[in-house]
């Protein structure tokens, strides 16, 4: 019971800190601000965290680790093949991000500051290692089953992840541009669908599988336009 209460209090710290980082900026937010809003002592803060940096790292890692856990569960499944696993990863991660869109937006906003780029790289590099490892597992399974062809599954996993990340950044830019220019839903839908169709084709070519095997449009359109 005590552990549960402790987890709740730690989560309260993380949520409060994220709100303050979003409102004031990471650099301008102090530990005093965090404990002041929560009405607790400095000792309570240091019971859970070593520093303010420890807080933002924990926030970002908790968000990322939940996505990694989703991918890991899918990678371990024995009832679906490698292509189905990749499509389920895409679908599940989009569903997860959809339910956490507000949190994701606030975390991204914190790392927009140039002074936080070092922190961002540290967290991103850890996430990349886990993601590449899991993508490699899926690719190795696909190679073993005769679905994929590659002489270097590690490099292919890294390249596949890089391509997906580039696509995600490109979609973020498209959505921001649409917001700034007041592009209507019909036009945005067409632009997004064209982009996703292109990346479906590219990912299929990277994996040397039949065009249309990778499904991006439904999970991304559902996330951003529904």
pLDDT at 151: 93
State the CATH architecture for 1-49.
Orthogonal Bundle (1.10)
- What pLDDT sits at residue 175? 94
pTM: 0.86
Residue-wise DSSP of 129-151? HHHHHHHHHHHHHHHHTTS---S
Q: Determine the pLDDT at residue 6.
A: 64
d(CA 197, CA 214): 10
Packed helices 117-144 and 82-99: angle between N→C axes, nearest 10 degrees: 150
Residue pLDDT tens, the chain, 226 long: 344 566 789 999 999 999 999 999 888 999 999 999 999 999 999 999 999 989 988 998 898 899 999 999 999 999 999 999 999 999 999 999 999 988 888 888 887 766 677 777 777 777 889 999 999 999 999 999 999 999 999 999 999 999 999 999 999 999 999 999 999 999 999 999 999 999 999 999 999 999 999 999 999 999 999 7
Length of the chain: 226
Alpha helical stretches, state H, the chain? 2-24, 31-38, 42-48, 52-76, 82-99, 101-110, 117-144, 153-180, 185-207, 217-225
Nearest to 216 by CA among 80, 88, 82, 73: 88
> Domain extents for the chain?
1-49, 51-225
Which superfamily does 51-225 belong to?
A: Tetracycline Repressor, domain 2 (1.10.357.10)
């Amino acid at each position: 019971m005590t552990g549960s209460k402790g987890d709740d209090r730690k989560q309260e710290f993380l949520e409060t800190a994220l709100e303050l980082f979003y409102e004031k900026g990471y650099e301008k937010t102090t530990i005093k601000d965090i404990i002041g809003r929560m009405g607790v002592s400095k000792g309570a803060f240091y019971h859970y965290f070593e520093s303010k940096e420890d807080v933002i790292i924990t926030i970002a890692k908790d968000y990322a680790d939940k996505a990694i856990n989703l991918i890991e569960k899918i990678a371990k499944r024995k009832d679906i093949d490698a292509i189905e696993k990749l499509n389920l990863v895409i679908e599940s991660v989009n569903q997860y991000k959809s339910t956490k869109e507000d949190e994701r937006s606030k975390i991204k906003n914190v790392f927009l500051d140039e002074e936080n780029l070092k922190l961002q790289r540290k967290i991103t590099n850890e996430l990349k290692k886990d993601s590449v490892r899991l993508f490699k597992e899926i690719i190795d399974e696909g190679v073993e089953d005769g679905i994929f062809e590659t002489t270097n599954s590690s490099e292919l996993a890294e390249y596949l992840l890089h391509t997906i990340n580039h696509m995600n950044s490109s979609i973020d830019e498209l959505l921001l541009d649409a917001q700034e220019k007041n592009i209507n839903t019909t036009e945005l839908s067409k632009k997004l669908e064209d982009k996703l169709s292109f990346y479906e084709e590219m990912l299929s070519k990277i994996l040397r599988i039949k065009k249309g095997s990778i499904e991006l449009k439904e999970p991304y359109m559902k996330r951003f336009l529904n």
